[in-house]
Structure 1
Amino acid sequence: MSSLSATAVPSAALSRSQLRTFALASLGGALEFYDFVIFAFLAKLIATHFFPASQSEWLRQTEAFGLFGAGYLVRPLGGVIMAHFGDVAGRKKVFTFSVLLMAVPTLLIGLLPSYETIGAAAPLGLLLMRVLQGAAIGGEAPGGWVFVSEHAPPHRAGLAAGLLTGGLTGGILLGSVVILVLNVVLSADDVANWGWRIPFLIGGIFGLGAMVLRRWLEETPVFREMHARAETAETLPVKILLREHRRAILCSMLTTWTLTAGGIVVVLMMPPLMQSLHDIPPAQTMVASLSATVCLTIGVVTAGALTDFIGMRTLAVTFALALILGAFGLYGMSPLFPGTLVFWAGLSGLSCAFIGLVPVGMLRAFPAKVRFSGLSLSYNLSYAISGGLTPAAISSLTLHTPVAPAIYVALTAVVGGIALWFSPREG
């Protein structure tokens, strides 16, 4: 029986060695979300340092976010290339390289000279770093999910994927804490002049340490067995996917849409939306963001673990409904009761546990020989489209109604729930 199949039969607990493997695998994914948060929070200062002072402030900030978005545009290509080698040459090699490719640019962003020092080379250098980060990120999260699931004992793959997803969301929490501490320890002028570089330096060092530690990881048993039996993909994995697994790709892309909506709209966009729509103080929205992130981390681990014992269709319906209720609670109820935002944010974070079902559904949708490529193609292509369009869509919709974010999340929850219901079961 496949280790990726849900069952109600109890199995042995995870060993210390397996838990260590999952922890090391989570480090690089945490860096992905850490980088996302610190760049978003520091975008205004980055714009000041990397674009001409003669430009207006809004133009510089728009350019900074444009460079940030460029990294996401190359995710599908980077992910497909790395996943190809992961399916053909081995999971471990690619998994170790991806965190190196992510750590070095993060470190260099913290060291890049400003526009005032090197002129147009400054934004071009930042663009190059974002492109390299985007290529690395394309293989990091899908590679992590495949790696831990194939290392997990029978009937514990869901828990393994949930623990890794919890590590990813933990990167958001880490980034928020670092920015918070930075602003407490340093003056506003120091942060603006040089302190903004510290989070990137920390992230780069953190990533290089993760790469060194990952050298001690072993190749997954599933890949070793495929290699021994000469069952690895004989042709391009992408060709096999497009020929034989179109349904799996479609369902995985749709569930990833729900994942991006839950993470971006409920957690990451919540502070600025609450400030602009309901005049809630920034300090309160920051605390609410931390509450949502902690509860999200708990929720995704729990959801992943439940897939080992409860059928995916039951969980898909249950957690899709929870996501809808959580979104409307956050954007519909909290404004009616001043001072309750932190509570509703935490509840909405828990309701985003649907995110923990997504990687498990994708892992089960593809056979082992093209699993890495299947996850990478579906996840990155969907994330590049929906992740880029979601903020703009929400900004436009909120002009018509303040509960537009909840309506948007509800729509994606319905679509994702249906996609999980009809997703194939290959693994």
Structure 2
Amino acid sequence: MTPIPGFDAAPSSPAHQGESPTGPAGAVPARSPKKAAVAAWVGSALEYYDFVIYGTAASLVFPQIFFPEGNPTAATIASLATFGVGYVARPVGSFLLGHLGDKFGRKKVLILTLLLMGVSTFLVGCLPTYHTIGILAPILLVVLRLLQGLSAAGEQAGANSMSFEHAPDHRRGFFTSWTLSGTQGGQVLAPAVFLPLAALLSEEQLLSWGWRVPFFLSAVVVVVGLVIRRRLDETPAFESEVEAGSVPRTPLSVLLRDHWRSVLRVMFAAFVAMVNTLYTVFALTFATKKDYGIGFSSTYMLWVAIVSNLVAIAVIPFWGSLSDRVGRKPVFLGGLAGSAVLAAGYVAVIASGNRALTAVVGILLAGIVYSATNAVWPSTYAEYFPTSVRLSGMAIGTQFGFALAGFTPTIAAALLGPTGAGWPKVAGFAVVACLISAIAVATGPRGTHRVPTAQLGRKASRATAKATGRSLSAQASS
């Protein structure tokens, strides 16, 4: 069997020196892994600040100001449903932004998603409440949430593709993990902004104007993000596709014809993302709402989230680097097993009312164990697809899978019941979602971390496989 060139490339090989996989150095822009990783981190942190700030407000504020009084439980479920609506828009956005990213480049999509997220988030802060305009208030809230979802559909796939394709082949896991480390940074910023507001303002002040402040700050987010992303070069892998004339006229048709199995695999693997919204949105509601009788303060739960995400920021690059050495599967599956156990345990300890144990389990779950899956899913999914359809493949697969995460707070609240007695059902729901994800990952290809970027995903296309075989035979004979 003819070995794949670069499979065991030494550090002196072109793949490790920044040379294009399709030609000599200088044929396309040189790789900039550190610059791309930092840009992905900062951009994702800023983008997910906008997205997570909505989830925090949906748990703590929106039930009181955007819905009619009289039934607090119904208002809470409705508010969490508006959070889930953003995930309904994500699959639609994944088709549009995935096509644009594979057709016109990763950089253009990243700038577009940042603008769309920033503007829609700012406008949420401008909305009048239910007491002012009635039913039109939650309708406008849903519209803006849909725009946020469209933006998020292309953000992670674009940032992942950018950092993945700038990284040297032997360190793709490490550099790509910075995108998800950045999303954790955004999840630190969101509660960090709400904490002083919740501590310094009265409930009346928070509900009247204080809740708007984090949304207005998105204007700063947009400016900073644009400066960073405009300075980043397009990826060498995409530029090689352009120079070779290999960019598909309709990337989506190629994706769905030749790589649909990989899309489905990513979709089911992405079910693990429900752990994130279970932790950041549902648990905050469960622990703090008077209806459930747990009695935790929102300040306490926000601090737990901040500490957990700070730990995650430090740990995620370690898991990514480990996957470069031992492979994606061991790290991914280990994280899934731990997430299943600790997600169920986190719901249980909140129900017990034990503050100290809630903090310990929460930090172990979100800070360490779930971080293993977060660290390696970007590189794992990216290695399922060739460059020509990588962004659309990741975007479509993940966003359909993330739909479960979007509605996890609503599903969990419904399973919980009005008194909170249904928490074992919520725990079981988390375990089943992690199991489905584990099956999808375990049955996927092995050893993709050792395959050069230029050769990834080619077995999925019969025509491409034949062309690759001819190319490798020619190289062997020469």
Give the aligned partner of residue 316 of structure 1.
332
Give the aligned partner of residue 263 of structure 1.
276
Quote the offset at 1:55 in angstroms: 7.3
Aligned-partner residue type, residue 412 of structure 2: I
Report which stretch shifted further, 31-40 or 79-88: 31-40
Give the aligned partner of residue 171 of structure 2.
156
Quote the offset at 1:418 in angstroms: 2.4
Which among 65, 73, 77 is matched to residue 92 of structure 2?
77
- Structure-1 separation of matches of 2:327 and 2:31: 27
Superposed CA offset, 1:67-108 (max 9, x none): 433322111111211110110111111111110111111112
Give the aligned partner of residue 254 of structure 1.
268
Q: Unpaired runs of 5+ in structure 2?
A: 19-29, 449-455, 458-478
8 Å CA contact 2:77, 2:410 repeated in 1:
no
Cα–Cα, structure 1 residues 398 and 119, in superposed 2: closer, same or farther, change >3 Å? Answer: closer
Superposed CA offset, 1:229-275 (max 9, x none): 011113x22222221112211210111101x2221224443333345
8 Å CA contact 1:398, 1:404 repeated in 2:
yes
Cα–Cα, structure 1 residues 271 and 192, in superposed 2: closer, same or farther, change >3 Å? Answer: closer
Q: Is the partner of 1:309 in helix, strand or coil?
A: helix
Which among 195, 203, 219 is matched to residue 234 of structure 2?
219
Quote the offset at 1:300 in angstroms: 3.0
Which among 336, 342, 347 is matched to residue 359 of structure 2?
342
Does residue 395 of structure 1 match 2:413? yes
- Structure-2 separation of matches of 1:221 and 1:119: 52
Q: Unpaired runs of 5+ in structure 1?
A: none
Which among 413, 437, 440 is matched to residue 416 of structure 1?
437
- Structure-1 separation of matches of 2:256 and 2:214: 40
Give the aligned partner of residue 370 of structure 1.
389
Give the aligned partner of residue 322 of structure 2.
306
Report which stretch shifted further, 61-70 or 146-155: 61-70
Aligned-partner residue type, residue 346 of structure 1: I
Aligned-partner residue type, residue 376 of structure 2: L
Cα–Cα, structure 1 residues 310 and 13, in superposed 2: closer, same or farther, change >3 Å? Answer: farther
8 Å CA contact 2:50, 2:118 repeated in 1:
no
Quote the offset at 1:360 in angstroms: 1.7
- Structure-1 separation of matches of 2:388 and 2:102: 6
Quote the offset at 1:295 in angstroms: 3.0
Q: Is the partner of 1:279 in helix, strand or coil?
A: coil
Quote the offset at 1:184 in angstroms: 2.4
Cα–Cα, structure 1 residues 36 and 5, in superposed 2: closer, same or farther, change >3 Å? Answer: farther
Give the aligned partner of residue 471 of structure 2.
none
Q: Is the partner of 1:110 in helix, strand or coil?
A: helix
Cα–Cα, structure 1 residues 327 and 70, in superposed 2: closer, same or farther, change >3 Å? Answer: closer
- Aligned ranges 1:37-52 → 2 under 5 Å: 37-43=52-58, 45-50=61-66
- Structure-2 separation of matches of 1:414 and 1:5: 32
- Structure-1 separation of matches of 2:86 and 2:333: 34
8 Å CA contact 2:43, 2:182 repeated in 1:
no
Quote the offset at 1:365 in angstroms: 0.6
Quote the offset at 1:168 in angstroms: 0.7
Give the aligned partner of residue 259 of structure 2.
245
Aligned-partner residue type, residue 311 of structure 1: G
Aligned-partner residue type, residue 42 of structure 1: A
Cα–Cα, structure 1 residues 405 and 32, in superposed 2: closer, same or farther, change >3 Å? Answer: farther
Aligned-partner residue type, residue 248 of structure 1: S
Quote the offset at 1:37 in angstroms: 3.1
Aligned-partner residue type, residue 394 of structure 1: A
8 Å CA contact 2:349, 2:357 repeated in 1:
no
Does residue 35 of structure 1 match 2:54? no
Give the aligned partner of residue 140 of structure 1.
155
Q: Is the partner of 1:307 in helix, strand or coil?
A: helix
Aligned-partner residue type, residue 356 of structure 1: A
8 Å CA contact 1:99, 1:208 repeated in 2:
no
Q: Is the partner of 1:74 in helix, strand or coil?
A: helix
Report which stretch shifted further, 128-137 or 396-405: 396-405
- Aligned ranges 1:55-70 → 2 under 5 Å: 61-70=76-85
8 Å CA contact 1:327, 1:410 repeated in 2:
yes
- Structure-2 separation of matches of 1:41 and 1:294: 17
Does residue 192 of structure 1 match 2:213? no
8 Å CA contact 1:316, 1:421 repeated in 2:
no
Give the aligned partner of residue 122 of structure 2.
107
- Structure-2 separation of matches of 1:322 and 1:8: 35
8 Å CA contact 1:152, 1:160 repeated in 2:
yes
Aligned-partner residue type, residue 319 of structure 1: G
Q: Is the partner of 2:92 in helix, strand or coil?
A: helix
Q: TM-score, normalised by structure 2?
A: 0.78
Report which stretch shifted further, 353-362 or 214-223: 353-362
Give the aligned partner of residue 174 of structure 1.
189
Quote the offset at 1:416 in angstroms: 1.9
- Structure-2 separation of matches of 1:6 and 1:164: 26
Give the aligned partner of residue 351 of structure 1.
369
- Structure-2 separation of matches of 1:67 and 1:150: 35
Please identify the structure whose Cα radius of gyration is greater. Answer: 2
- Aligned ranges 1:111-126 → 2 under 5 Å: 111-114=126-129, 122-126=137-141
Superposed CA offset, 1:318-377 (max 9, x none): 323322343354345674966332122111221112222222211011111000110111
Quote the offset at 1:309 in angstroms: 1.1
- Aligned ranges 1:278-317 → 2 under 5 Å: 279-282=294-297, 283-317=299-333
Q: Is the partner of 1:217 in helix, strand or coil?
A: coil
Quote the offset at 1:383 in angstroms: 1.1
Quote the offset at 1:109 in angstroms: 1.7
Cα–Cα, structure 1 residues 55 and 414, in superposed 2: closer, same or farther, change >3 Å? Answer: closer
Cα–Cα, structure 1 residues 4 and 199, in superposed 2: closer, same or farther, change >3 Å? Answer: farther
- Structure-2 separation of matches of 1:327 and 1:355: 15
Superposed CA offset, 1:147-191 (max 9, x none): 111111221211122111010122111101110021223333322
Give the aligned partner of residue 41 of structure 2.
26
Give the aligned partner of residue 382 of structure 1.
401
8 Å CA contact 1:3, 1:156 repeated in 2:
no
- Structure-2 separation of matches of 1:412 and 1:4: 37
